[in-house]
Amino acid sequence: MTFDDTAIDWLAKLLSDAAIAEIMPRFRRLDEGDIRQKTSAADLVTEADVSAERLITVRLRERYPQAMIVGEEACSDDPALLQGLGEADLAFVIDPVDGTFNFASGVPLFGVMLGVVVKGETVAGIIHDPIGKDWLIGARGAGSHIRHAHGTLEKVHVAEPAPISQMTGAVSWQYMPEPERSRLARNQTKSLSQFGYRCAAHEYRLLASGHAHFVVYNKLMPWDHLAGVLIHAEAGGYAARFDGSTYRPSHVGGGLLVAPDEASWRELRRELWAE
């Protein structure tokens, strides 16, 4: 079966099914053995991540047997699974629990993310909020919407451009090398205010719905960004890597700056990296 826009409803329900079956029953009920460290004490995986990804993967393989499926936890065990994402005819990229640190800490700020890639281009993105029981959905050329739990659709749009002194944003300087780390941490104070959710799903939602202006990410893994960048773009926003090049599914480095428009992107690039 090939992918088309009619599949978005099915995919949205799939993410909700995984949340109902595997994620929410474990929220604030994790045993000590249900949480493990990956690369550090801040990089965790739980039984909810693994089980939700397994359910989503099985359902996707049933419906799309020829598709490439890239799951965060599967790639953690076998990084080679990422190879070929930029050339696949059809690929699904899964973050089963984005914001695992929050989830494992009992903080209700996490999401389920899915990006759809066709021949090296992201064509759809879905972010499901298991707490709010709604979805942020974007499809190439069709805009971005919040699908509320009661079924109504609300079109979203990024914030209007503003001077950096009036912008709200997030800078993930903790993943930067020095001296860039200190420079960005210092220059972030040029903005009006900041946020740091430790959850790309909700950070992209904040930007796409016009409640904040920018984010800076250094660590680029496709499950964290493909859905969000597509949704943000369809909501009218602009994103590029630090060198100004277009962000693509095959990229795992080069950083990412997300802004309301290209002019704002250029101002942020200049001011945040100023000596």
Instruction: Let me know: does 130 contact 19? Beta carbons within 8 Å.
Output: yes
Q: Which residues lie below 8 Å from residue 9, measured CB to CB, with a gap of 6+?
A: none
CA–CA separation, 66 and 1 (whole Å): 8
> Distance between CA 185 and CA 194 in Å, rounded?
11
Tell me how far apart the terminal alpha carbons of the chain are, to the nearest angstrom: 52
Longest dimension (CA), the chain: 53
Bridge partner residues of 81 (DSSP)? none
Could you tell me if 111 and 137 are in contact, meaning their C-beta atoms sit under 8 angstroms apart?
Answer: no
Structure tokens at 23: 């994620």
Q: Which of 200, 211, 208, 206 is nearest to 256 (CA)?
A: 200
Question: How far is the C-alpha of 89 from the C-alpha of 123, rounded, in Å?
Answer: 12
The reply to whether 31 sits in an annotated binding site is no
> Is 72 annotated as contributing to ligand binding?
yes
Asked whether 132 and 149 are in contact (CB, 8 A), the reply is: yes
DSSP 5: T
Give yes or no for a cis peptide into 179 (omega within 30° of 0).
yes
Cβ 109 vs Cβ 92: under 8 Å: no
Residue 33 exposure: Cα atoms within 13 Å on the Cβ side: 0
List, as residue ranges, the binding site. 72, 95, 98, 224
List, as residue ranges, the binding site for Mg(2+). 72, 95, 98, 224
